[in-house]
Amino acid sequence: MIKQKSGILIAFGELFLKSDSVKTYFKQKLVDGLLFFIKKEKLDAKVMSMRERIFIASDDLKSATKLAENTFGISWYANCMYFPETNLREFAAFVDKNYQDWIKKTETFALRLKISAEIKEEAKSVIDRIAKNIDRKVDLNKPKKELFIEVRKEGWFLYFKKDKGSGGFPIGSAGKVLALTSGGIDSPVASYLMAKKGADNIWLHFHSFPLVSNKSIEKVKELARVFMKYQPRLRVYFIPFSKAQVEIKGKAPASYRILLYRRLMLRIAEIIAEKEGCKALVTGESLGQVSSQTLTNLNIIEEATKVPVLRPLIAKDKQDIMDLAKKIGTYDISIKPQEDCCTLFTPKHANAQGKLENVKAIEKKLSIRKLVSQGIKEAKVEYY
């Protein structure tokens, strides 16, 4: 009797554009990520790594599919039947016996065959043998049903549909970044896009508690739990910022306060990034969305740090960002009311075209080193 297992077949995306050594490294990161989530979800499954594919053997296809859907580094995945220790005669007999359950009498079909390099069988002989007893009309251009068959040294794989994966690179393959996270719509989406490119996120949240409620803190905690669908582990820094804001408000013109807040945040973030081994900072800024996000002001803000500042949303419209937030499951949390640490002290009319010399002159009146040191000292860290 032919042996058969069910599971999810996974194909890589951009990963195969890399050199062999990088490809091996990325592939191992992908396998490690899958194994972590399998253990976390207590899924009864085994992972088999092959030259161009990964196969998750599991009878719990619903859970295995969800896992593949949310894992970065996957080009496509398919609900698949796997036949180990099987030859052409046995596999063809299985198709002969079952094809009527897969293809209706009125439907056309096509065979899509892939044979790995180590297999000696010729494609034509495989297709001829499998197709000869399928009593259905062939249509190679627009068939109603497709039978995808892959022949590998590990066995035969049969599936009927490919589902698009999340793409990108496996988590951790691009190093670590420190993401400034407000609790609003934009910053979790920015973190998601960085994770998609293989960056392991650490979050940093500035808050004004106890001058305001702790709603922003609770929102970030809730967002962190959602983000765990995409990243195995997450560390979040919570930094009280109200003392700094009170000093800036008392010594700086209203039109420059936002720029001063942001520059101080980056100075604090730079120290934490160095401590955590992060190679860049990440923000949810989008060009022109608010007065602090003009090109002039973004340059003024970024001048405060030597660490690269990445802005994955810089060219995206607000609607695009909202749509992606809904897709990844953060939108409903992000729109909950909160008193943001900056909006509490935000002037009605902020300066959209600040001057760096003015900012630096104001900063000479502020106890910058003390405020940075104070922020680092009072930081609290939570692990997810």
Higher pLDDT: 351 or 192? It is 192
Domains and their CATH numbers in the chain: 5-166 (3.30.2130.30), 176-383 (3.40.50.620)
Please, where are the H alpha helices in the chain? Answer: 20-40, 61-70, 88-102, 123-131, 186-196, 215-227, 242-251, 257-276, 295-302, 318-328, 331-334, 356-363, 368-377
The pLDDT of residue 238? 98
Burial of 174 (0-12, 13-18, 19+ CB in 10 A): buried
Closest CA to 257 of 319, 350, 324: 350
Task: Give the residue carrying structure tokens 């490809």.
Answer: 23
Q: How far apart are CA 89 and CA 13, in angstroms?
A: 32
pLDDT at 243 over 60: yes
Mean pLDDT of 214-233: 95
Lowest mean pLDDT among 125-139, 143-157, 202-216, 322-336: 202-216
- Please tell me the number of Cα atoms within 13 Å of 163 on its side-chain side: 16
SS3 (DSSP) at 90: helix
Q: Mind listing the pLDDT tens digit for each residue in 98-118?
A: 999 999 999 999 999 999 988
What's the pLDDT band for 352 if we cut at 50, 70, 90?
Answer: confident
Q: What pLDDT score does 22 carry?
A: 83
State the pLDDT at residue 341: 54
- Express as a percent the part of the chain with pLDDT over 90: 85
Q: Is residue 33 over pLDDT 90?
A: yes
List CB contacts of 302: < 8 A, sequence separation 6 or more.
266, 309
Q: What share of the chain is helix, strand, coil (3-state, %, to 5)?
A: 40, 20, 35
Q: Output the pLDDT for position 268.
A: 98
Q: Does the pLDDT value for residue 339 go beyond 80?
A: no
- Half-sphere exposure for 184 (CA within 13 Å, toward CB): 16
Distance of alpha carbon 202 from alpha carbon 200, whole angstroms = 7
Q: How far apart are the first and last CA of the chain?
A: 47
pLDDT computed for residue 24 by the predictor: 87
